[in-house]
Amino acid sequence: MAGAGTGSQGRTGTDGVGFSRRRLLGSAGAAGAAGLVLGAAGGAAGYAASRPDEPTALTAIGATEAMFHGKHQPGITTPLQARGHLIAFDLAPGAGRKEAAALMRRWSAVARELMAGRPAGGTDGPGHDTGIALDAGPSSLTVTFGFGRTFFDRTGLTGRRPAGLDPLPPFSSDQLDARRSNGDLWVQIGADDALVAFHALRAIQKEAVGAAGVRWQMNGFNRTPGATGRPMTARNLMGQIDGTGNPQQTDDDFDTRIFVPSAADAQGASGAPGAPDASQDWLAGGSYAVVRRIRMLLDDWEKLPVDRQEQVIGRRKSDGAPLSGGSETTPMDLDKAGPDGRLVIPDNAHARISSPEKNGGAAMLRRPFSYHDGISADGTPDAGLLFICWQADPFRGFVPVQRKLDRGDALSPFLRHEASGLFAVPGGAAKGEYVGQRLLES
């Protein structure tokens, strides 16, 4: 199902995203602009600002708010946002567990305030706000925090490092830049407004001063919600509809595939993905993010005629339907042969090789941002995918699938994996708690 998944830009029926009624558009003057916005937001029309003294009336896009507190951190099942920033930090020399805990407390407070559309220096928030996002509302801002392998050594918590943070194996097609890979701490920021996203990036960076230094930073984007007449799965920079095969929140096994269970929940479910013992309960409700900066060799790709491009993926470019027939949501028929006796979804097609059916059920939730960092000296665009996938255990999700893609994916000649990160993303913070508190204070 494409329409309601994280691969789509639909704004309805999604956990942890709500409309902040007090801030919704109430002015007829903005109705022209709001037509598209409210169409995409579904059901928001008719709300009026309940506080006429509110300085800024917001469209539904500006007013949409993702929840900071909850079982899971935001930014995992939240619909793709138009703008994204990824930033990794290393703890400062001499900083350890105490400083890390204080930083996570400050970062969580900033994230909570900004996600609610309040300034970072609000009544009970820390710091000094830059004012960059003053007029825009929450705009579906999410801030998600993860810990890298090295975080546990730096904080004296090596004994509590989960097995899921073992280093990823090398892949033959890797051309990784170590300086743009991994890191002690990772923050993913997403928002439907570029200023709101940048504002959060600045606030996160400023709160880190003295405790952690920036290791790398990357910027990404997706289609703007409301730009299409109906919610659609996003396209990537190769022009493909990307996200169709994602696990859906309505699937019975969605949670067990994507989120780490608590020790109690894992008991009896022997072999459950990422089955932790009680010392790992800080990760319950959390997930693992694999982050890859994958450059697309667009000049080569765009030379392929569309029918060859479709063979590479195994799906139609126009509407994402499998080459075996039907529409985007029709399951692929991997056994179907054409009149010439050959498989219609070729043996080396990307969607075939990566499908859970061909990988012992291995599945991940792909939630990427496209990126474009200008034109290289040789005239080729430095553009591609900030591939981010979420799973309960990266060694049962990303790793086996990437191993297989590495061996025979028809898409590989058009890609270059340039950076890589693996992060354990703790469960969501309860009210009054900060992210990672259960690890850092127990």
Q: Which residues are catalytic?
A: 242
Q: Which residues contact 248 (CB under 8 A, 6 or more apart)?
A: 1, 4, 5, 254
Name which of 265 and 328 has its Cβ closer to ligand HEM: 328
CA distances, 54 to each of 58, 64, 135, 211 (Å)? 10, 16, 11, 37
Name which of 41 and 405 has its Cβ closer to ligand HEM: 405
Positions of E strands within 48-173: 64-66, 83-91, 142-147
CA distances, 45 to each of 25, 27, 109, 138, 243 (Å)? 8, 11, 32, 18, 29
Query: d(Cα 216, Cα 186) in Å, to the nearest integer?
Result: 9
Q: Does residue 119 contact residue 134 with C-beta atoms inside 8 Å?
A: yes
Measured from the CB of residue 345, what is the shortest distance to ligand HEM in angstroms? 10
Query: d(Cα 85, Cα 140) in Å, to the nearest integer?
Result: 14
Measured from the CB of residue 358, what is the shortest distance to ligand HEM in angstroms? 9
Residues that bind ligand HEM (CB under 6 A): 236, 238, 240, 242-245, 292, 294, 296, 313, 315, 350-351, 354-356, 364, 384-385, 387, 398, 401-402, 405, 415
Positions of E strands within 250-380: 287-296, 365-366, 369-375
Measured from the CB of residue 370, what is the shortest distance to ligand HEM in angstroms? 9
Residue whose beta carbon is closest to ligand HEM? 245
Q: Which residues contact 98 (CB under 8 A, 6 or more apart)?
A: none
Measured from the CB of residue 419, what is the shortest distance to ligand HEM in angstroms? 13
Which residue, chain included where needed, has tokens 């639909």?
A: 10
Nearest to 19 by CA among 140, 158, 198, 182: 140
Pairing mode, if any, of strands 415-425 and 365-366?
unpaired
Q: Phi, psi at residue 440, to the nearest 5°?
A: -80, -20
DSSP-derived secondary structure for 213-238 = EEEEEEEEE-PPTTSSSS--B-B-TT
